[in-house]
Structure 1
Amino acid sequence: MSAQAQLLKSNKPIPHENLWKKLKVNGELIAALASGVLILLGWLFDKSGYGTMSVIVYMLAFVIGGFAKAKEGIEDTIKNKELNVEMLMIMAAVGSAIIGYWTEGAILIFIFAMSGALETYTMNKSHKEISSLMEMQPEEALRITDYGEEHVHVSELTVGDLILIKPGERVPSDGEITKGRTTLDEAAITGESVPVSKSNHDEVFAGTVNLNGSITVRITKPSHETLFHKIIELVQSAQSEKSPSQLFIERFEGQYVKIVLAVVFVMMFLPHYLLGWSWTESFYRAMILLVVASPCALVASIMPASLSAISNGARHGILFKGGVHLEQLSAIKAIAFDKTGTLTKGKPEVTDLIVQDGLTEEEVLLATASIESHSNHPLANAIVKYAKGKLSIPLIHPDSIEDVAGWGVKAVIDHKEWKIGKASYVGKEMAEAFANGTAKKFASEGKTIVFVQRGEELAAMIALKDMVREEAKLAIDQLKEQGVYTIMLTGDSEKTAQAIAAESHVRDHIAECLPENKVDHLKKLKKKYGNVAMVGDGINDAPALATANVGISMGEGTDVALETADIVLMKNDLSRISEAIRLSQRMNRIIKQNVIFSIGVIILLILSNFLQMLDLPFGVIGHEGSTILVILNSLRLLR
């Protein structure tokens, strides 16, 4: 087999294909550098007295350096039926050559080509995050069949297939672990560097890395519908969507170019008659004006910054659905939070267990957990989980069990009747008096209370609570420092809402709030504060997320979140909101710096030209240099 055939079989690119790919990506930069070398040669020929040869070399520099931008400018002009910045540069370079300023015209083309190459580099750099993500999904998977194992392309996997993923390998498609235990690096999905432990029935996502254990996974989604694939599509879509500032600049550019051309045409004649300039001087100053008045730096002020910020966010698990949402975020004055699953973990946990004198914790927990293990209720699951962590013996099977709808559950263990449920089920007066009225104190703390009755006596009281996320407190404090008003909207009772609000540090709360009420409250907040964000955990908060100026959804591996909000926090870490606001503020600050700087340079160069203090080479350097500087300034957002 030939070396070429071997490379094809191994799916590796052929060396000359790699070379062509690199040349294609860096084509603008290579052309610009070649143009620079030709300019140097033209200048040497001119100094040596070879005038004709010098002009020929300069013409080559024009063609090689200016081809890409000229092609782009002409195509855009034909497509949009409107002149653009590229056309201004071509006219200025050709005009310079007509009046004999070949060197200046060539330098203009060279620096314009360099700024274009740098802008392309910025675009490629911002897309590199996505390219590197795409490379993280393996092409092959080890499928388990009735006849053994076989290597198949990821596109051949179907829902229900079993695959084996060994230590060090990447997960090829979304699925559920059916066998094995391991630790996965999910940084590609969540931006979180800390590995996550996974075992039976846990979800795994394409592109994540299996660190230390072999696992068998059942495929739950085809490769084109994985969360990983949707993230890539989302960021690509965000990068192609233009922000309001970018759209304004593009609309402004078309009108501005027409005004510049009109002023340049007037300047070719008016100074000759009014100021006594020679025709050559008038035309020369008109060409300089054509160069320095072009809004290249202004046009490049926004898009590179926006792309860099979106890429930065994606790398840290913050997905923006477009530049408009990223730009708006810095103006947010108030944020409303859903409670369950957003400020809290969304699952109740046992916080307190009080047992009647004469009984042991182990005895009560064993009976309670054994009965509750037959229920799927969240409170029952929390009690069973708590008991398993405390007990050293396995659960037992009740002799009989009966679910009393709306009240609780009744069971018999060793001929003794047990009741588990709310206060009114076991006896309200007895429940309120239990443990010196501790139930009232627990209720004021926002806890849910489950009573356990053994025979005719109250055996125990179990307090449960949907715990506030540790990072939520820090996140709310950070938002307060940034001057953002925080409020919690929840359907829970006033007592529970008050307790959770105090614990999570939110400034205000509204209890007993139905989904339609959340929309009404958000409208009121928008009237009062202007720009308002809503943070929720998915579909149930969709109306409120849509009503807010910016909807922020908790992700943590759910593709539902990708479809409901403007911004998705891939890890349920609320502190990322503050980080996203800072990123938005940095981006807007850099855009303002770029706009002010570029306008300032244009005004300075235009005035210098009218005062006949500016020569074409310095006009070219000043104008194109400012374009390069604003692009470099935008690149800071990638850090």
Structure 2
Amino acid sequence: MHTKSLNQANVADRKYIEEDHHHGKSPIILYSLGLLLYLLVLFGSFNPLIENSLFILTMLLSGYHVLSEGIVDTVTESVKRKRFHPNVHLLMALAALGSSIIGAFDEGALLILIFAGAHFLEDYAEDKSKREITNLLKMNPTEARLVLSSGETKIVNVSSLKIGDELKVLPGDQIPTDGEIISGSSYINEASINGESIPKEKTVQDEVFGSTINGDGSFNMKVTKNSEDTVFAKIVELVNQSQTNLSKTATKINKIEPIYVTVVMIVVPVFILSVPFLLNWSWNESFYRGMIMLVSASPCALAASAVPATLSGISNLAKRGVLFKGGAYLSNLANIKSIAFDKTGTLTEGKPSVTDYYFINEDQADEWISIIVSMEKSANHPLANAILEKFQSQSDFLPDLSVENNIGKGLAAMVQNKHYQIGKPSLFENVPSEIQTQSDQFSNEGKTVVYFSEENKVVGIIAMMDLPNPNAKAVIRYLNKQGIHSTMITGDSELTGKAVANMLSIDEVAGNVLPENKSQIIAESQKKYGYTAMVGDGINDAPALVAADIGFAMGEGTDVAIDVADAVIMKNDLTKFQYAHRVSKKLNRIVWQNILFSMLIVVLLITLNFFGRVDIGIGVLAHEGSTILVILNGLRLLLPIKSSLQ
């Protein structure tokens, strides 16, 4: 994506979507004609010659793409690889030919009809997932309102925009590219980026993303990224990657298929030639049973066991703002034995909140709170915001307050000739015992404390903490039930980390950890527990995300998160991680159900055929019917999984 414009990529992606293993609408039209001919013969009355001719025509029409992929693709791949490389379509073509040779034209036609129908169903399953790419591409903005030096606007192509260009965005417009608001404000629907349907208020200096939809307001924005580097472009690239990166199970099945087909093509002739001598069967009976074996042993259902299910799972999650770079990562998520979380912003809200406060004289508490709020309004650090959020609604603002903000010394002000100060405990000497007791208690709970003094005597204390994310506790409880070891990695003190961990029932805490040491903790977890996932914000957690077996980035659609992680949650919501784990477990269950069921049908049909208990019609129905059931079973993953919090 970085070597071509997004528009060029879109053309390439559309071509990929439309042409990958498809032949346009022709096969469906021909298939429908063949099906009509089959039904005509089935419910009509014709002489045997016309009847068999119509069955042959049915095979040729409905099996057009089967014959094409069976013969043409086998020849092409064999030449390319310089060794025989058949596929399951070739087996079906041979089975239909064999049925015709023994005079079972109706069975050959039925075989092709069911196999081709199952093939179309599998294509539908793949298209259902690839439609996520198509839907993304449709949301790709193509035009922008460029603000000229004269102040007028001009409609230009998005691909022509440069970093620093000023754009005008009107009500209802699609935001053309990533940028920053420089004037105006509006509510913006960012569902295309983070899956969140509730519009978000944006104003000056706020970041906006291309492809999102502006509400009723209008604003001017400055372009901050080239079109190929936008969050939207990276999402398209990521979802596109997921289509080709299949699960290990799917990949193994694809690798085994040509070997399996080759073995069947050897075993069937050996069976036909040897059985008349071993079991005294007639040559006709031997050939007939050989054709049933050819149909029964074809790995159609096995080949369809993993891919439709995997793509359906990816599609399910993509709709909910969880993007995987490939089916392998989704499939393997179910196997994790240990998981490490970054604390700030992942397990916690990412900002401090006031949890406790204490004043030595309750009668003066309201007056002191008003002074504290007035002083903190002149500051812009996170602790000030936490204090204002807690106390602003219950205080009177003092407009004439003059505040000194000295770095390292906190805030100081004079009110009615009295000196007031707010700062960290080490700045104060005259600390009453009750304040010290409260301070020790709060500190032992992992909270950050600030003192408030009047005339150099500490009269109040405020405790703050980065509180756990509201959904984090339920998610950790779910992981504990799954037997998955949880570790919190934090740069804060171990005491603070343990306080949060105790609230969430996390198994282990690694405190005072530098970003470069996080990957070492992941390596230790892999050695001790096995398959390990890492969940972080994708920036200072990058080394750990790369080191983990699965790196899971959380963050409101940041491009860094998309770059470094194996999977991305486009909104800071841990329940989506839990949902992904449940989808992964269901995916693995469905794939193994499909594999066992498909092989059971093969073994059952071959065994019954050996004892002469099945004819070719029953073999066709059972074998191809099992393929359809396997595909439909995989398509169940398109449905949402209920009650994500358990």
Question: By the TM > 0.5 criterion, same fold?
Answer: yes
Alpha-carbon distance between aligned partners in 2 of 1:66 and 1:309, rounded to the nearest angstrom: 30
Number of aligned positions between the proteins? 610
Paired letter, 1:426:
F
Question: Which of the residues 124, 133, 136 maps onto 2:136?
Answer: 133
* More displaced 10-residue stretch of structure 1: 605-614 or 288-297: 605-614
Alpha-carbon distance between aligned partners in 1 of 2:449 and 2:431, rounded to the nearest angstrom: 10
Give yes or no for the alignment of 1:69 onto 2:69.
Answer: no
Paired letter, 2:379:
E
Paired letter, 2:354:
V
Alpha-carbon distance between aligned partners in 2 of 1:349 and 1:263, rounded to the nearest angstrom: 72
Alpha-carbon distance between aligned partners in 2 of 1:449 and 1:556, rounded to the nearest angstrom: 30
Q: Please give the per-residue CA displacement for 1:222-262, whole angstroms capped at 9, x wherever unaligned.
A: 33322122112101101210211112112221221122111
Query: What does 1:68-147 align with in structure 2 at a 5 Å threshold?
Result: 68-73=65-70, 74-76=72-74, 77-78=77-78, 79-80=80-81, 81=83, 82-145=85-148, 146-147=150-151
Give yes or no for the alignment of 1:255 onto 2:259.
Answer: yes
Q: Secondary structure at the match of 1:164?
A: strand
Give yes or no for the alignment of 1:364 onto 2:371.
Answer: yes
Report what 2:322 is aligned to: 318
Query: What does 1:520-539 align with in structure 2 at a 5 Å threshold?
Result: 520-539=520-539
Alpha-carbon distance between aligned partners in 2 of 1:285 and 1:352, rounded to the nearest angstrom: 82
Shift of 1:597: 0.9
Q: Please give the per-residue CA displacement for 1:326-374, whole angstroms capped at 9, x wherever unaligned.
A: 111112222221111211122223334445645723542255325534x
Report what 1:507 is aligned to: 507
Q: Secondary structure at the match of 1:268?
A: helix
- TM-aligned CA distance change 1:396 to 1:161, over 3 Å: farther
Q: Secondary structure at the match of 2:177?
A: coil
Report what 1:291 is aligned to: 295
Alpha-carbon distance between aligned partners in 1 of 2:529 and 2:48, rounded to the nearest angstrom: 71
Report what 2:278 is aligned to: 274
Q: Please give the per-residue CA displacement for 1:79-128, whole angstroms capped at 9, x wherever unaligned.
A: 44411211111111122222322222222222221111111111111111
Query: What does 1:368-379 align with in structure 2 at a 5 Å threshold?
Result: 368-373=375-380, 377-379=381-383
Alpha-carbon distance between aligned partners in 2 of 1:558 and 1:414, rounded to the nearest angstrom: 49
Alpha-carbon distance between aligned partners in 2 of 1:402 and 1:550, rounded to the nearest angstrom: 45
Alpha-carbon distance between aligned partners in 2 of 1:394 and 1:565, rounded to the nearest angstrom: 49
Shift of 1:136: 2.2
Alpha-carbon distance between aligned partners in 2 of 1:60 and 1:413, rounded to the nearest angstrom: 99
Q: Please give the per-residue CA displacement for 1:290-316, whole angstroms capped at 9, x wherever unaligned.
A: 111010100100000000001111111
Shift of 1:563: 1.6
Give yes or no for the alignment of 1:467 onto 2:467.
Answer: yes
Gaps of 5+ in 2: 1-18, 640-646
Paired letter, 1:195:
P
Paired letter, 2:262:
K
Question: Which of the residues 38, 55, 58 maps onto 1:58?
Answer: 55
Q: Please give the per-residue CA displacement for 1:595-638, whole angstroms capped at 9, x wherever unaligned.
A: 11101111111112112222222211111111111111111100
Shift of 1:200: 2.5
Task: Give yes or no for contact 2:450–2:463 (8 Å, CA) kept in 1.
Answer: yes
Q: Secondary structure at the match of 1:450?
A: strand
TM-score w.r.t. the length of structure 2 is 0.87
Report what 2:598 is aligned to: 598
Paired letter, 1:233:
E
Alpha-carbon distance between aligned partners in 2 of 1:425 and 1:219, rounded to the nearest angstrom: 45
Q: Secondary structure at the match of 2:471?
A: helix
Task: Give yes or no for contact 2:180–2:208 (8 Å, CA) kept in 1.
Answer: yes
Shift of 1:214: 2.9
Q: Secondary structure at the match of 1:142?
A: strand
Task: Give yes or no for contact 1:369–1:387 (8 Å, CA) kept in 2.
Answer: no
* More displaced 10-residue stretch of structure 1: 156-165 or 554-563: 156-165
The alignment's C-alpha RMSD in Å is: 2.8
Report what 1:36 is aligned to: 35
Shift of 1:437: 2.6
Q: Secondary structure at the match of 1:372?
A: coil
Task: Give yes or no for contact 1:39–1:61 (8 Å, CA) kept in 2.
Answer: yes
Report what 1:614 is aligned to: 614
Shift of 1:589: 0.8
Task: Give yes or no for contact 1:308–1:638 (8 Å, CA) kept in 2.
Answer: yes
Give yes or no for the alignment of 1:425 onto 2:399.
Answer: no
Q: Secondary structure at the match of 1:509?
A: strand
Give the % identical residues. Answer: 42
Report what 2:11 is aligned to: none
Alpha-carbon distance between aligned partners in 2 of 1:346 and 1:335, rounded to the nearest angstrom: 20
* More displaced 10-residue stretch of structure 1: 552-561 or 75-84: 75-84
- TM-aligned CA distance change 1:218 to 1:355, over 3 Å: farther
Paired letter, 1:164:
K
Alpha-carbon distance between aligned partners in 2 of 1:361 and 1:179, rounded to the nearest angstrom: 38
Report what 1:7 is aligned to: none
- TM-aligned CA distance change 1:286 to 1:353, over 3 Å: same
